Amino acid sequence: MANIIVVGAAGRMGRLLIELTSRDPAHQLVAAVEGKGVPAVGADAGENAGIGKLGIKIIDDYAAVARVGTVTLDFTTAAASLEHLEVAAKSGASIVIGSTGFTREMEARAKEIAPRTRTVIAPNMSVGVNVLAKIAAEVAKALPDFDAEIIEIHHRTKVDAPSGTAISLGKAIAAARGVDFNANATYEREGITGVRPVGQIAMLAMRAGDAVGDHTVIFGGEGERLELTHRAQSRIGLARGALRAAAWIEKQQPGLYSMRDVLGM
């Protein structure tokens, strides 16, 4: 049984994770953590998630509960997750980070700290998206001259763009083609842009309403176009993936792992 700490307990993913953990006999919720000054601190985690009392109060001090034998599920912000990763590494807690929006510097720092404990960092925990990344890499290799464009749409309250998933799809395409991602990536177009550079990988973000997250990878060639689309219809697939990662990471050696490692792909 995994002893789960949900960090970001009052957020969209956090509340769903509390609900799923409390229903799943394979997991035991041992703590729920929020940011300092958040109104939900002090409330019962279950009541706050709309599933009735669980007897676990939301606290605002992650270091007080992180310890060996626990798995943290962290869906907060990139900056907060980096701080929590430091705490997890010091305390020996396993950690699954779903937060997105890591800058290159933050990513480098996370890669440095993560191997000190058992860590999964995955911008998208759904099985479908990870299969999409695998297929997109195969298509990128099979159609090396086709232009790769990634379009994503998310809810209006998402704070980072493009999505971590879009970036990871772009990285998968770059890796499959053996090219440097950062040197070929572009994130916007406006005005007289000139013709499309050969080998460019574009990630374009839309924000509207309550869209959970759609990603389309377009491969455009001469006289034909191949499009691969994944649509998240709810957060359930993402939360289930996070719990799957929690059960898996407990049995691994310390190190930094991806969702593809978790899924054995």
Ligand X SMILES: NC(=O)c1ccc[n+]([C@@H]2O[C@H](COP(=O)([O-])OP(=O)(O)OC[C@H]3O[C@@H](n4cnc5c(N)ncnc54)[C@H](O)[C@@H]3O)[C@@H](O)[C@H]2O)c1
Catalytic machinery residues? 154, 158
Backbone region of residue 178 per phi and psi (left: phi > 0; alpha: psi in -120 to 50; beta: other values)? left
Minimum distance of ligand X from residue 99's CB (angstroms): 4
115-143: b (≥16 Cβ within 10 Å) or e: ebbbbbbbbbbbbebbebbeebbebbeeb
Using the minimum distance from each CB to ligand X, give the nearer residue, 3 or 77.
77
CA distance 200 to 261: 28
The span from the CA of 30 to the CA of 112, in Å, is: 28
Question: CB of residue 37 vs ligand X: minimum separation in angstroms?
Answer: 9
Which of 58, 75, 117, 118 touches ligand X by CB under 6 A? 75
Residue 14 or 170 with smaller CB distance to ligand X? 14
Cα angle, residue 41 at apex, residues 35 and 47 outer, rounded to 5° = 125
Judged by CB under 6 A, does residue 92 bind ligand X?
no
Residue nearest to ligand X (CB): 11
Of the ranges 30-38, 44-52, 140-148, 189-197, which one interacts with ligand X (CB under 6 A)? 30-38
Two structure tokens written together for 30:
């041992």
Choice between 97 and 201, CB closer to ligand X: 97
Q: d(Cα 97, Cα 242) in Å, to the nearest integer?
A: 9
| Tokens matching residue 165 | 């998933």
The DSSP H or E segment spanning 167 is: helix 164-177
**Contacts of ligand X in 222-251 (CB under 6 A):** 238
* Segment near ligand X (CB under 6 A); pick from 106-114, 118-126, 221-229, 246-254: 118-126
Residues within window 53-72 making contact with ligand X, judged by CB under 6 A: none
Tokens of 166: 């879009």
The pattern of x and - marking residues 10 through 29 that bind ligand X according to CB under 6 A reads xxxxx---------------
Residue among 224, 182, 189 nearest 204 (CA): 189
Six token digits for residue 175: 């890796």
7 or 217, CB closer to ligand X?
7
Contact assessment for residue 213 and residue 157, using Cβ atoms and an 8 Å cutoff? no
CB of 81 to ligand X, least distance (A): 8
Q: Using the rule CB under 6 A, which residue among 21, 48, 72, 99 binds ligand X?
A: 99
The correct pick among 32, 122, 172, 204 for binding ligand X (CB under 6 A) is 122
| Site residues, ligand X (CB under 6 A) | 7-8, 10-14, 33-35, 38, 75-77, 80, 98-101, 122-125, 238
